[in-house]
Chain A
Amino acid sequence: MSALRRVAAAWERFWFAPESPVNLAAARLVLAFQAFWILLSRDIPALSGLPRELWVDVAPAARFRYLLWEGRPGLEAWLQTLALLALAGVVLGVATRACCLIAGLLLYHLAPLETLFFTPSPWSKGLTLPVLGLLTLSVTRCGERLALLPSKDALSDSEDGWALRLVRLFVCQQYLFSGWAKLAAAGWGWASAENIRAWLLLANLDDQLVAFGAPGLWLAERPVLCLSMGASALAFDLGFVTALFSARARRLLVPAGLFFHLAILVTLNYAFLGAPLLLLLVDWQHVERRQRVYGPSSGSGGSSTSSGPATGVTARPS
């Protein structure tokens, strides 16, 4: 077999491997709840009503790119309400594909409004992956499980596993590109004790940007810890992508990721709003199976329709 064929076979095995519909449905819920969380924590439509002076740096191309123009807070409020209704449909599992598509498109329009007067990329605002994820799920059967009105398509279980893997790839890319950005901008010296100390001082000396000052300044005085912090951050960023390929790595890296973000929060005062999306890497089928085995209804014999084989694929009721 030629190398090209082997690569093609590996590609097919990876993307089209069987996947639990529970995991796909859970991805739908995680993405929708993340979008709810951000939209309900802000007032994005009101930003359309900012004074004209604040929009002076917004390029015409950026306005056309997102179809955003100032002075339309009423329209944006209406669109946000529509987005929230679509997200409710996604959560409840009602007309799931259409709701994923509408929510994804509206979030693509609304999310940049939060930062547009300063930058056209709202990458750090928590809606990047919901846009990509919901649009990806809009062409899948993610509404078959954990839904009020389950979709009834005739496709086999294995067909939509690619979508969950693609969404997980987007999650992993947050870390991979973050690591790559560090190397591209500063080389391996990014992880040096001097640079980490400088980052800690940068993030902990400006009284306007400090909620937790003491842990970061304490660390900054300890070169060995600074070096460890830099090396482990770089290793985590570049190594996180293994979570895409290995269930064992996911079990280790998801809690490690939560710890990583907590550590960054208290030492650098950065709250990474994409942290809850680590839940996309959890094997919910496994959790559900364990609940069925150890839960209160374990003796009721209710597992006949969904305790799947070792591959984690759930047998669907016919």
Chain B
Amino acid sequence: MPGEFARTTPRESAPARGEIAAEYARHREARLLNVLGAACFLGWLASLALVRHAQGAGRARRRAAIRTLLLYALCASFGAGLTQRDLWPFARWPMAAGLADPRGENARLLAVDTRGIERPVDYRAWQPLGFDELNPWMHRTFPRLDPPARDRLLQHLLGVAERARLRARAGAGVGYFERYLGPFTAPYFDLHPKTWAPGAGAPPEPFVGLRVYLESWGHEERLRHPDSIHRVLLGEYPRR
């Protein structure tokens, strides 16, 4: 894996003042949306309670309560959807919205084994963490942690990956989400390749380190040259 990437550079830290202001605005909007979302849900419960309360009453009163509930549901759901402000469970459903960026960016976590070789970690190895949340979190939030916090987190993730490796090597499966439903287990929203298989299909050497990279590429360029990826080391454990 290491030789597969054209360029590897260390990341510069210290966010600019503009970034800090944008971050502050993002937090303020998030707080407002959380409060609004909670209020919306409580209102929904109140309108349901109104219908429940009217159940023993006459038809007219019951219908009036149902009309209130329906109007509330329409306002809350269309409010969230049309303004594209998420008030979950009144969601905005932004599936594949927007113009796709001509450049791609993603985090990649690689385990380092006792021979110093970087090994890919199967997406199921992080369970109970979902790869679809862990990877973008690594991209967005991890770089903002202070070094001791980064170490603690990577140490934890290294333990998770190593336990998953041991379990897979023992033939007990990769990850454990399939424990109840087997092949009928719900997939992740984003599909991922299965890079490990139980038994000999899992990495043989113990994991002793973990590295987090940020990868970026231009789609058209990567289509022609699959190795044309720019790679930045975001963090590693243990630190060298």
For chain A residues 167-220, which have a beta carbon within 8 Å of chain B? 169-170, 173-178, 180-182, 184-186, 189-190, 195, 198-199, 201-202, 205-212, 217
Q: With A123-B93, A181-B94 in contact, is A270–B190 under 8 Å at CB?
A: yes
Assess whether A272 is in contact with B95, with CB atoms less than 8 Å apart: yes
Q: With A43-B177, A47-B129 in contact, is A122–B88 under 8 Å at CB?
A: yes
Q: Mark B35-49, 1 if CB is under 8 A from A, else 0.
A: 101100100110010
Kindly state the interface size class of chain B when it binds its partner: 35 or more
For chain A residues 142-180, which have a beta carbon within 8 Å of chain B? 159, 162, 166, 169-170, 173-178, 180
Q: How far apart are the CA atoms of A66 and B116 in the complex, in Å? A: 43
Q: With A51-B156, A117-B133, A123-B88 in contact, is A38–B186 under 8 Å at CB?
A: yes
CB proximity of B215 to chain A, nearest CB, Å: 8
A16 interface contact, C-beta 8 A: yes
Q: With A37-B181, A125-B189, A178-B95 in contact, is A198–B102 under 8 Å at CB?
A: yes
Assess whether B88 is in contact with A43, with CB atoms less than 8 Å apart: no
For chain A residues 194-251, which have a beta carbon within 8 Å of chain B? 195, 198-199, 201-202, 205-212, 217
- Smallest Cβ-Cβ distance to A220: which chain B residue: B223
- Smallest Cβ-Cβ distance to B91: which chain A residue: A123
Most B CB contacts (10 A, CB to CB) among A54, A108, A199 go to A54
- Smallest Cβ-Cβ distance to B88: which chain A residue: A121
CB proximity of A243 to chain B, nearest CB, Å: 16
CB proximity of B15 to chain A, nearest CB, Å: 15
Q: How far apart are the CA atoms of A247 and B104 in the complex, in Å? A: 43
For chain A residues 105-140, which have a beta carbon within 8 Å of chain B? 108, 112, 114-115, 117-126, 128, 131-132, 135-136, 138-139
**Binding site of B, secondary structure by majority: helix, strand, loop or mixed?**
helix
Q: Which residues does chain B contribute within 8 Å of A178, judged by CB atoms?
A: 93-97
Q: How far apart are the CA atoms of A57 and B27 in the complex, in Å? A: 9
Q: Which residues does chain A contribute within 8 Å of B223, judged by CB atoms?
A: 201, 205, 217
Q: How far apart are the CA atoms of A25 and B24 in the complex, in Å? A: 48
CB proximity of B181 to chain A, nearest CB, Å: 5
- Smallest Cβ-Cβ distance to A201: which chain B residue: B219
B61 interface contact, C-beta 8 A: no
- Smallest Cβ-Cβ distance to A166: which chain B residue: B73
Q: Given B35, B84, B102, B133, which contacts A115 in the complex, CB threshold below 8 Å?
A: B133
A258 interface contact, C-beta 8 A: no
CB proximity of A286 to chain B, nearest CB, Å: 25
Q: How far apart are the CA atoms of A59 and B133 in the complex, in Å? A: 16
Q: Mark B106-129, 1 if CB is under 8 A from A, else 0.
A: 101000000000000001000111
On A, residues with C-beta under 8 Å from B are 15-16, 37-38, 40-44, 46-47, 50-51, 53-54, 56-57, 59, 61-62, 64-65, 108, 112, 114-115, 117-126, 128, 131-132, 135-136, 138-139, 159, 162, 166, 169-170, 173-178, 180-182, 184-186, 189-190, 195, 198-199, 201-202, 205-212, 217, 265, 268-273
On B, residues with C-beta under 8 Å from A are 27, 30-31, 33-35, 37-38, 41, 44-45, 48, 51-52, 55, 59, 62-63, 66-67, 69-70, 73-74, 77-78, 80-82, 84, 86, 88-102, 104, 106, 108, 123, 127-131, 133-137, 140-141, 144-145, 149-150, 152-153, 156, 176-177, 180-181, 184-193, 217, 219-220, 222-223, 226
11 contacts between A and B (CB under 8 A): A114-B133, A139-B51, A180-B82, A185-B97, A198-B102, A198-B219, A201-B222, A210-B193, A212-B191, A270-B96, A271-B189
